[in-house]
Amino acid sequence: MYDITLTNEAKLLVAAARDPKRKVHVQVVTDGTSVIYPAVHGRPSAPNPAYDILKKGLGTDTTKPSWLVTCPYEIHGAAGHRTLTTHACIGDRRRKAINHSKFAVFSRTGGISKVTYLTSGNLTLGSGPFAWNNAVTLNGDVTTYNAYAGFHRDLAALRRVPHDDYFTYRRPRAGSLGRAYFFPEAGRDPEDAIDSRTDVIANFLEKISCTGNRTLGTPGDHRTIVRAAVAWWSRPDIAHLLWSLDNAGCDVEVAMTRDAFDTRALEIMTEPAGARYGGVKVHIFPDLRHDYVHSKYLIVEGGYNGRADARVVWTGSHNFTRTALRTFDETILQLFAGGRLEPAYLANFGRVAAAAPCTRQMGRTTCLDRSAARMVLNPQDDAPAIGLEQR
């Protein structure tokens, strides 16, 4: 789990590990972001009680059944003025980076074996219950369970891989319910751009066809529906592909949380020149003080990979940013049970889009009054980490 600040959840994990009747081994990997509340935005630094509970309750000895491992970090400054520099567990630790993944595996729970749980939400208030998130649980998919259990072992071991290309080191394998992808993915990017040949999201988008459906897609003409609810954007190749898909006849909508790093992607997606089908409609959450979109999922209903009337969903921790692709420890899960899950995700996107206070299309932005919107109780309790996420 990338960031953990909720003390009740920390206590529950420790209680599970200490209860002799339950016989549970609890093994937690967290990012250095969890260690303290650093000094940021005028706030003084302070201890993170949740992290202290886990460290004291689980210990840090990985030869024992239960433990806590923290990705590398450095603390700077004196008490009350401390700041953090964090590094990924697997990705290039010479860089300022994070282990951004959020998942759990259970060898057995609720009478079911080999359970995988994947979410976009951290165990925090700021990016947890006060943000739009999603989660999915896969029961009994042994291949996917083993993939995530292996990823967890590698995170805990601070595994180094050739060229920091963990994507190639742990290659995607199809299970019965999904296919897991892990990052960072290495690539030779030109200056101020992304090499889309080594961008797995771009590869997904390039397999979409906008017409030829008979039953699914838009009502009446059955054009392929593409929806993306992703917090942060900084990869222009993805923005160009989404604009091109809309221009080719797909019905494309996006929900995002607005920040300065998204400017180029937003301009590309809403470029009015030549937009034959109206351009990508982008639903925008303009700040982090109110509820905002924190999910990271992509939906296709229609033509995909040479097949018409397909239902495909990808979800996980991976924002559409350069750092998520090249630097951070991340994951995406492609869900195979699209017949059941894709309609649920599509309905969720509708709720997210309806909650967004601003919409931009064809170069024009319209916004609603947000004075009555729900305020985040503890805004940006992981603010330094959000700053890294956005790039």
Higher per-residue confidence, 291 vs 332:
332
Is residue 108 within a helix (H) or strand (E), and if so which, with residue range?
Answer: strand 103-109
**pTM value?**
0.94
Mean pLDDT of 78-94: 92
pLDDT the model gives residue 380: 46
Tens digit of each residue's pLDDT (9 = 90 or more) over 305-326:
999 999 999 999 999 999 999 9
Tens digit of each residue's pLDDT (9 = 90 or more) over 37-49:
888 777 888 999 9
Mean pLDDT of 281-289: 87
Instruction: Say yes or no to pLDDT of 379 above 80.
Output: no
**Looking at the DSSP assignment, which residues form a beta bridge with residue 251?**
225
Provide the residue type at 136 as one letter.
V
**Could you give the CA distance from residue 248 to residue 226 in angstroms, rounded to a whole number?**
12
Tens digit of each residue's pLDDT (9 = 90 or more) over 242-264:
999 999 999 999 999 976 568 88
Give the tokens for residue 313: 């969903």
Whether 60 contacts 69, CB under 8 Å: yes
Instruction: Say yes or no to pLDDT of 371 above 90.
Output: no
Closest to 222 measured CA to CA, from 301, 146, 298, 333? 301
Tens digit of each residue's pLDDT (9 = 90 or more) over 13-32:
999 999 999 999 999 999 99
Three-state secondary structure along 246-301?
HHCCCEEEEEEECCHHHHHHHHHHCCCCCCCCCCCEEEEECCCCECEECCEEEEEE
> DSSP H helical segments within 77-183, as ranges?
142-156, 166-169
Instruction: Say yes or no to pLDDT of 274 above 80.
Output: no
